[in-house]
Amino acid sequence: MGKDVIIACDFESAEKTFAFLDKFTEEKPFVKIGMELFYAEGPSIVREIKKRGHKIFLDLKLHDIPNTVKKSMSVLSKLDVDMTNLHAAGTVEMMKAALEGLTRDDGTRPLLIAVTQLTSTSEERMQNELLINASINDTIVKYAENTKLAGLDGVVCSPLEAGMVKEACGKEFITVTPGVRFADGDVGDQVRITTPEKAKEIGSDYIVVGRPITQADDPVEAYRRCVREFVD
């Protein structure tokens, strides 16, 4: 499987997104469309970015009863994205239903990956508020195992967790990892971070990079640097 850099297009409008994507005249980066942009612009933003030739990770993190998720995934499968996701906390039954809904009549489907525990959830809050009486690492591994059992392709996790997920679920099980920063860059609000080089070493398959590229003085050069450090 090819390693790739996915740019998180966390913009509030199509206009800002296209102003950003227009800077890329030579390459067509893999882009992530999240809730902000999708809720602002609707499915048309996905079709337009696809038409420009980009691969798309539609990051909507579905979590509902199995039947609702199945039907929603069936609708999303028509958008022809390359990757989409849901919350593993929705249970194995929900994940299986999602996979069924996402699979098209001809058997093809986008990659489907699960969020284990959000990196913003601390172990303390998970235990005290969600009453999950386990360590956060055990929870992440268990949710990753559930994801594999349901037949999905992989998980979103911190790059620092990619190693233990691969150990538990095998090296073919995909890890998509946000929380990436250049060694000499701004950390921002991310906590458990690592560099593109280190993410490669740990075994991430895809890194999701937002602000280090979108807010850079030269976004194209920042993207190329990520590719040099992570892929080449």
Q: Name the site residues for ligand C5P (rule: CB under 6 A).
A: 8, 10, 34, 118-119, 156, 178-179, 188, 190, 208-212
Tokens of 138: 């055990």
Q: Which is nearer to ligand C5P, 98 or 213 (CB)?
A: 213
Torsions phi, psi for 5 (to 5 deg): -100, 125
Q: Which is nearer to ligand C5P, 154 or 178 (CB)?
A: 178
* Residues 97 and 69: beta-carbon distance below 8 Å: yes
CB of 202 to ligand C5P, least distance (A): 16
Annotation says 55 is catalytic: no
Q: Which is nearer to ligand C5P, 11 or 173 (CB)?
A: 11
Side chain identity at residue 76, one-letter code: L
Cα separation of 185 and 81, whole Å? 31
Nearest to 10 by CA among 225, 197, 178, 194: 178
Q: Which is nearer to ligand C5P, 110 or 179 (CB)?
A: 179
Of the CA atoms within 13 Å of residue 4, those in its CB half-sphere come to 18
* Residues 84 and 58: beta-carbon distance below 8 Å: yes
CB of 16 to ligand C5P, least distance (A): 15
CB of 39 to ligand C5P, least distance (A): 14
Q: Which is nearer to ligand C5P, 65 or 118 (CB)?
A: 118
Strands (E), the chain: 4-8, 30-34, 56-62, 83-87, 111-115, 154-156, 174-177, 206-209
Cα separation of 95 and 114, whole Å? 8
Identified catalytic residue from 16, 61, 71, 198: 61
CB of 203 to ligand C5P, least distance (A): 17
CA dist 182 to 4, 6, 54, 73, 227, Å? Answer: 16, 15, 24, 35, 12
Angle at which helices 91-102 and 136-149 pack, to 10 degrees?
40
CB of 97 to ligand C5P, least distance (A): 22
Query: Catalytic amino acids?
Result: 61
